[in-house]
Structure 1
Amino acid sequence: MLNDLSLLDAIEIPVRWGDMDAYGHVNNTVYFRYFEEARVRWLERNGFRVDGKDQGPILLQTSCTFLRPVHYPETLWVTTWCKEIGRTSFVTGHEVRSHNGETLYSEGFCKLVWLDHARHRSIPLPDTLLALLEKSLHARQAKGPGGR
């Protein structure tokens, strides 16, 4: 999956028994954890701190469209790409798919703001982050409408 230049990352996440709700499928709140895990792993792997010190991302907005229920046991692929870049913020797109990639369970986005934690103010995105985001965004745009 990662040979797709439009993707920032693709990670495997096993569904845990505790992710289930009374209806026998993954609870809606857990999908946001999947998005979080994907973006935090990607940021950390690329040298960006997410510990609340100095500067880093904070979540401004998130959304998820639930397309099909996920049941235990399952291993999921969560993909992340760049949807939009601002001066101090960026938007990541996410998909949650079955391990074989055939079933799309959900799709969503997260808008993150780069923050100077000491001053509690947004600041411009670091150049190294901007380069990674632009690579994903441009590759996705080159694919045409929908970017898939």
Structure 2
Amino acid sequence: MDAALRERFGVEGQWGLWREHVVRWAECDIYAHVNHAAYLTLFEDMRIEWWVGAGGSFSATAPGPVVGSLEVKYHTPGHFRDKVLLTVRTASFRRTSFVHQYGMWREGDGLLCSARALCVVIDNATGRKAEIDDAMRQLMAERDGAVAEV
């Protein structure tokens, strides 16, 4: 992320992946506020984009992330047609799980919403936990600044 984009949205910290978005009417309630569920859907989109970009896939035979827990903090309301920046990064990882952090930043205003998800990697063929491969662990550490937990 370059300095101009960071300043435009008031972004703080290191983020592994980001994408600009304009809030659509379908993501709002009748008062033109971003609906609480829309934040989670947008963060889910970022989780999928992160996983696929890191070499993962989604199929019946490949391991994939399942959300084990999710914590959301709404800082200030978002509105219809707001220009926002969606961000995701891996904060930490273990053998079969990782913690993602998400942010939605409004142009000229800073952080609107943040979230933290504990994701467990599951082998879709067996339903059992699967290990995160070394290449993905390395990406988590180098690009996102993630910390390996024991």
> TM-score if structure 1 supplies the norm length?
0.83
- Distance in structure 1 (CA, Å) of the matches to 2:30 and 2:138: 44
Q: Which residue of 2 aligns with 1:126?
A: 133
**Letter of the aligned partner of 2:138 in structure 1?**
A
- Distance in structure 2 (CA, Å) of the matches to 1:50 and 1:88: 16
- Distance in structure 2 (CA, Å) of the matches to 1:106 and 1:94: 8
- Dislocated runs of 4+, deviation >4 Å: 2-5
Q: Deviations over 1:29-70 (max 9, x none)?
A: 111111111121122223210344321111111111001111
- Distance in structure 2 (CA, Å) of the matches to 1:21 and 1:12: 21
SS in 2 for 1:32: helix
Aligned length: 138
Q: Which residue of 1 aligns with 2:99?
A: 91
Asked if the contact 1:6–1:138 (Cα under 8 Å) also holds between the matched residues in 2, the reply is no
- Distance in structure 2 (CA, Å) of the matches to 1:77 and 1:94: 11
**Letter of the aligned partner of 2:107 in structure 1?**
H
> TM-score if structure 2 supplies the norm length?
0.82
Q: Deviations over 1:54-111 (max 9, x none)?
A: 21111111111001111111121111112121110000111110134x3210111111
Q: 1:51 to 1:98 in 2, by over 3 A?
A: farther
Consecutive unaligned residues of structure 1, counting only runs of 5 or more, are: 140-148
Query: Are 1:113 and 2:120 an aligned pair?
Result: yes
Q: 1:2 to 1:125 in 2, by over 3 A?
A: farther
- Distance in structure 1 (CA, Å) of the matches to 2:86 and 2:49: 11
- Distance in structure 1 (CA, Å) of the matches to 2:59 and 2:34: 28
